Chain A
């Protein structure tokens, strides 16, 4: 199985900050990498698919990059509604696997 890691596991940031979250796969997954946002008590929401494609309706302050084993999710200017947990997921091979998550909270 492909293992996914994320760093940091949590971070504190202020409104307006630029935030970067890293995801690493245990083997090359090409661009088969997706990012989700989850708020407490809610279902995950797809933000980015295929490493860098913005899902319809997602604000342009979210962006994704990377390929192979190393990927990044960037929030260019953090907004109050962005405080949440973010997960990466590889869709390269079954079983699909998620990263452990990165919790973004208010500094």
Chain B
């Protein structure tokens, strides 16, 4: 079945780096744009970044621009998020999500998420 599984979260000190991964299965990964969406504890959903199906186009939320890099390896069916210069307000559960074949750019498949804690 269609599935997304994130990994790579953990506890990291402010200013350090972390790389998240999202392994896709059950669908043609290379045909879909992919997103990262995060949720701070007790808060709502915040869109983070998107990468086109072929990896050539990338867009970021202003809150992470210049610090985070989204990428994908279609040969490995894997999405990545490289997070540098982490701050306390980056602490959240990070979900990867598939942008489905809808005109409204809806996210039809989500991973369960991986928790990132930023603490000294």
Within B1-54, which residues are at the interface with A (CB < 8 Å)? 35, 37, 44-47, 50
- The answer to whether A98 touches B45 (Cβ under 8 A) is yes
Cross-chain contact of A43 among B47, B62, B103, B112 (Cβ < 8 A): B112
Question: Is A83 part of the contact surface with B, judged by Cβ < 8 Å?
Answer: no
**Interface residue total, chain B, C-beta cutoff 8 A:** 24
The interface residues of chain B lying within 8 Å CB-to-CB of A31 are 103-104
Question: Is B55 part of the contact surface with A, judged by Cβ < 8 Å?
Answer: no
The interface residues of chain B lying within 8 Å CB-to-CB of A43 are 95, 110-113
- The answer to whether A95 touches B47 (Cβ under 8 A) is yes
Interface centre among A33, A45, A46, A101 (most CB of B within 10 A): A46
State in angstroms the CA–CA spacing of A51 and B103 once bound together: 11
Closest A residue to B35 by beta carbon equals: A96
- The answer to whether A44 touches B103 (Cβ under 8 A) is no
Interface residues on A, range: 20 to 34
Question: Is A62 part of the contact surface with B, judged by Cβ < 8 Å?
Answer: no
- The answer to whether B44 touches A34 (Cβ under 8 A) is no
- The answer to whether A94 touches B59 (Cβ under 8 A) is yes
Interface centre among B37, B44, B50, B113 (most CB of A within 10 A): B44
Closest beta carbon of chain B to A44's beta carbon, Å: 6
State in angstroms the CA–CA spacing of A95 and B38 once bound together: 13
0/1 string, B96-120, CB within 8 A of A gives 1? 0000101111111011110000000
The interface residues of chain B lying within 8 Å CB-to-CB of A50 are 102-104, 106
Cross-chain contact of B44 among A33, A92, A95, A101 (Cβ < 8 A): A101
Closest beta carbon of chain A to B114's beta carbon, Å: 11
Closest beta carbon of chain B to A31's beta carbon, Å: 7
- The answer to whether A87 touches B111 (Cβ under 8 A) is no
Q: Which residues of A contact B (CB under 8 A)?
A: 1, 31-34, 36, 38, 42-46, 49-51, 53, 55, 87, 89, 91-92, 94-101
